[in-house]
Chain A
Amino acid sequence: MNIFKKTIFSVLASLLIIFSVNANDKIRIGTEGAYPPWNSKDASGKLIGFEVELAWALCRYMEKQCVIVEQDWDGMIPALVMRKFDAIMAGMSITDERKKTITFSQGYADEVASLAVMKGSSLEGLDTPEGINLSLGGSDVTKALKTLTGALAGKTVCVQTATIHQNFLDSGDVGKVDVRTYKTQDEVNLDLASGRCDAALAAAVAFTDYAEKSGKPVVLTGPTFSGGAFGNGVGVGLRQAGDDAIGKRDAELLKAFNKAINEARKNGDISRIATKWFGFDASM
């Protein structure tokens, strides 16, 4: 082997080592950075929020190094599947629909969804129970959905694309609604305030956070939603385990996250971080 070949060989070998070490060592966690207070960015562009802080805490429990990667919401699951990162922590609810493609850790927080309107809207003060659980069903839920169907008929309801909120409106549970989809929650908030949307549907905290920061008269209306299309809490999204070496590592990662969440919950870390960002304990 001459010197030239040796050099090339050693360079390639060292590159291989660098990349494999890189892939082994650090857990890459994808988040959106545009869904306050779950995850967002501060003025300097640094990622902040409940899930960013929780991610660092979970990484400490797992005793692993982590990198938090930013990813647009509508490409979140494809990016995970294509191995751009190893885990999703982006306010993503655990739903059967998503479980067809990826897997989830146990839930770490409860997302409560709600409709929001501008103060003075005819949709304010709907006669519905405080909260409905679509999984439970019953006459209360049926009645509430009927009230909503009547109230929302012909109205424009805005949601972020590819969310449980869009799935719910598309499911037909509240009849035929003119659904408008946006790339980010920020854009939903802008168009709710401008009057292009009659109502918007998202995590209740997303609206209260916006109302507080912008000073716009955004108010919640109707029941809070859970269960059914709204899934069962928010968890860490992970790739489905496979039989090859990488697939096994994904399975181990799932175990590691579940264990870390258990410990963080037991030590009160999740409650503490949730209270800090949401103003109430949204942990589960």
Chain B
Amino acid sequence: MINSFPKLLSATLITLKLLSASLFFGLFIGLLFAILRMNKNPIINKFAYGYSYVFRGTPLLVQIFIIYFGLGQIEYLRSTMLWVILKEPYWCAIIAFALNTGAYTSEILRSAFQTIKPGFIEAGKSLGISNKIIFYKIQIPIAIRQSLPAYGNEIILMLKGTSLASTVTLMDLTGVAKYIISTTFKPIEVFIVAGSIYLFMTFLVHSTIKYLERKFSY
């Protein structure tokens, strides 16, 4: 049991790498699509809505399988430059995770933008501040503060979602836990240790978000 702990800890690093990369790309995707959702052009608007609808409406496992096993079956794709990225399970997982968390993030940010009191924007306009500056200096900071609790939840969900990386051959925390079980046949003990590591990471995310919420409260 104790021998397996270092193995699980080094696998935790892969889990954290997957999580941070997915959140990094996901945040950009989320912000982009939140802005597109608020666009007045119905085509752009519907496109952004469609993206979020599809990725929130299907299981993450299905998405990762389609991207990893599904795209791998298309012979044409294998002859393009894209295959360099899609060949690697690591990138397939990050693409699936980022697109998934991006959809949720776009919804979180959209609702945060919409709850900004019109008074804040009007106050800026009355001072003669340009729309661009209002967006960057007033809307975005308020939206980030508003969305912190919901986004913290999303980080925790994504952290647990990364366990699906083990289904596409990545040796993340869950993958290594399963591997250890396959040689020791002790599922309960190993899964309790792996679960505790996930719990501890959740605790860290939770406290960080709480700290930020207090710091940015107004």
User: Chain A: residues with CB nearer than 8 A to chain B?
Assistant: 74-75, 77-78, 81, 97, 101, 158, 161-162, 166, 180-183, 187, 190-191, 193-196
Q: Mark B175-196, 1 if CB is under 8 A from A, else 0.
A: 1001101110111000000000
Task: List residues of chain B with CB within 8 A of the CB of A74.
Answer: 178, 181-182
- Secondary structure class of chain B's binding surface, majority of residues: helix
Cβ contact within 8 Å between B72 and A81: no
Q: Knowing that A81-B185, A162-B183, A181-B179 are A-B contacts, what are 4 other residue pairs whose CB atoms are under 8 Å apart, sorted by A's residue number?
A: A74-B178, A78-B185, A101-B185, A190-B69
- Whether B87 and A196, one on each chain, are in contact in the complex, defined by CB atoms closer than 8 angstroms, is yes
Q: Quick one: closest A residue to B72, CB to CB?
A: A194
Q: Is B78 an interface residue (CB 8 A)?
A: yes
Question: What is the chain A residue whose CB lies nearest that of B71?
Answer: A194
A77, A180, A187, A195: the one within 8 Å of B78 (CB): A195
Whose C-beta in chain B lies nearest to the C-beta of A183? B167
B169 near A182 with CB under 8 A, answer yes
| Cα-based distance from A161 to B183 in the complex (angstroms) | 10
| Contact surface of B with A, Cβ cutoff 8 Å | 69, 72-73, 78, 87, 89, 167, 169, 175, 178-179, 181-183, 185-187
Selected contact of A180 from candidates B69, B169, B186, CB within 8 Å: B169
- Tell me whether B182 and A161 are in contact (CB under 8 A): yes
Q: How far is the CB of B174 from chain A (nearest CB, A)?
A: 11
Contact B185 A190 (CB under 8 A): no
A158 cross-chain contacts in B, Cβ below 8 A: 169
The CA-CA distance from A166 to B72 in the complex, in Å, is 23
Tell me how far the C-beta of A84 lies from the nearest C-beta in chain B, rounded to whole angstroms. 12
A-B contact pairs, 9 of them (CB 8 A): A78-B186, A101-B185, A161-B179, A162-B182, A162-B183, A181-B169, A191-B69, A194-B69, A196-B72
Q: B69: which of A77, A161, A181, A187 is its contact (CB, 8 Å)? A: A187
Name the A residues within 8 Å of B175 (CB-CB). 181
In the assembled complex, the CB of B73 is this many whole angstroms from the nearest CB of chain A, namely: 7
Interchain CB contact under 8 A, B181 and A78: yes
Closest to B182 in A: A162
Please, which residues of chain A bring their CB within 8 A of the CB of B73?
A: 190, 193-194
Asked if A190 and B72 make an inter-chain contact with CB atoms under 8 angstroms apart, the answer reads yes
Name the residue on B nearest A182 (C-beta). Answer: B169
Whether the pair B87, A195 counts as a contact (CB closer than 8 A) is yes
Whole-angstrom distance between the alpha carbons of A166 and B175 in the complex? 14
Q: How far is the CA of A242 from the CA of B182 in the complex (A)?
A: 23
Asked if A75 and B87 make an inter-chain contact with CB atoms under 8 angstroms apart, the answer reads no
